[in-house]
Each structure stands twice: as structure tokens, then as C-alpha cells.
Amino acid sequence: MIGCAHGHRFDLSRHDIATLLPPRAPRTIGDDRPMLEARRRLLESGAYDPVADAIVHSAEHAVADETEPRSADTPERPLRMVDLGCGTGQYAQRLAARFPDSVLLLADRSPDAVRMSVRAIPAASGVVLDLWRPLPIRDAIADIAINVFAPRNPVEFARIVRPGGRLIVVVPTPEHLVELRRLGLVLDVPAGKSERVRAQLEPVGFRLADHSTVEYGISADAETRALLVGMGPSAHHRADSPQLPAGDELAVTVSVEVLSFDRV
């Protein structure tokens, strides 16, 4: 059992994961196991490696650009990273490989996602929480936080990322998986997502440090197309989805914006 100074107590699961949902939290579970398994298989294929590369590159720049110690009292402490909406943990796994001495927290609303991520990164800590609510994470604790295709909680993100720390946000562009959208297989991506992210984060204390578009094509056979559809929010509409086309490979566009914010 773990606890805090206010007397709250929480049991750790047999996977050493804490569930820190607020009382009367909505009965949602986040991404289900079929979605997560599809995402794991797709990401392990390397299809989104350029996206992971961009995240690692931004984190490297944040660490290299530091002009002051992360802590005046303990300047040699490990780098502290938080994955806010960790999913299967592949992006956090890349960060952990690049910064092997870091301390990593994996957070998601889905217990299955947190378990899968902790299995991928055994040295990390995992917590089940609601990203829409106040986060049970200490103030100014994160040197680097990532938020990849996940909900955003601007005020809470600003609270937990330390001044001088970095928040890396990844959102799809309208061109993301556009070929599958034309077939009616995935949901639309509204235009202007990156502008909305800036409008959410800049007023609470984040400054845009870098903004890049990662766009490339992948050759998707029928299995890969099924994984692309099954791993995202379109999977929630399986019963209403058109039948996936069989046959030859289809060129599919991966297009995302990577926004790096420094906490001022």
C-alpha cells in the first residue's frame, strides 16, 4: 500500500501499478485491449518510427539547451519524464532507451495500457488516472512530458512540468491517413489542431519552442490497413465501419505535427 501526507492510501496491483482515479470517476476504461494490441503491432513494425524519432530529437534538444541545473539542491538528479497518455508505451520506450538513467512515469486512463507500457519498460512506474481531471502528480516534477495522440489538460500540464521543462505534443494533420478516410474507414481530423493546442497551452505558461511536420508514406497491405483502423478512435465504431478492402498494397500517408513547448 502507498499513501500521501494527507492520509490517502492506495493499493498497488500485482503489476506494481497504482490506480489513482478520483471518487465517482466516469466508468470509462480508455483504449480497449484490441485497440492496444493493434497499436502495439503497428508501432513495432516501425511504421511510426519517424514520429518517435522526432519526439526523441525534441527531448535531446531540451536537455542540451538547459542553461541551469534541474535542481539547485541536487543538480545530479536523474532526468524525470512523464508520458501523459502512454498507450502501449512505445514512444516512452524510445525515450527510456535514449536516456537510460532517467526516471519515467507512465500514465493513462486505460489499465490495460498502463500494464502493457510497464511490461515494455519494467523500470518505469505506472499509474491509472483521468487526464481530464486534476492529476495526482506532484508540482513541477517533470523535466520532459509527452502527450501523443492523447487528451490534454493544459492547467494541470503546466502545474506538473517544471519551469524550464519541456512538453512535447503530437497531433495528426488533416492529411493523416487521408487515403483510409476516403474509403470511409477512419474518422476525420479537424483542421487547425495545432493552432488549438497553442491556444490551450500558451495562456497557462508554455512557450512554443519548435513546431515541425512529420509526413511520409507507408505501403500498407490489408493487414497493416486493419491495424491502422483498429488502433485508433475509429475502432470504437467497428460495427458501423465499411468492410476493409482486400487486395494490393495501398500507399497511406502518415502526417503529424510535433509541437515542443517550454515551460516559462
Delimit the domains of the chain by residue range: 25-171+190-213+257-263
* pLDDT at res. 180: 95
Say if residues 90 and 43 touch (Cβ distance below 8 Å). yes
> In CATH terms, is domain 25-171+190-213+257-263 a member of 3.40.50.150?
yes
Beta strands per DSSP E along the chain = 2-3, 9-10, 17-19, 80-84, 103-108, 125-128, 142-148, 161-172, 206-220, 250-263
Over the stretch 71-123, which tens digit does the pLDDT of each residue have?
Answer: 555 557 899 999 999 999 999 999 999 999 999 999 999 999 999 999 999 99
**This prediction's pTM:** 0.90
Over the stretch 133-179, which tens digit does the pLDDT of each residue have?
Answer: 999 999 999 999 999 999 999 999 999 999 999 999 999 999 999 99
Q: Which long-range contacts (CB under 8 A, 24 or more apart) does 63-71 make?
A: 63/99, 63/143, 63/144, 66/164, 68/164, 70/143, 70/162, 70/164
Say if residues 62 and 144 touch (Cβ distance below 8 Å). yes
Cross-strand pairs, 222: none
Distance CA 45, CA 38 (A): 11
Over the stretch 3-24, which tens digit does the pLDDT of each residue have?
Answer: 556 555 555 655 568 888 866 6
Distance CA 108, CA 115 (A): 10
* pLDDT at res. 239: 46
- Cα of first residue to Cα of last residue in the chain, in angstroms, is 36
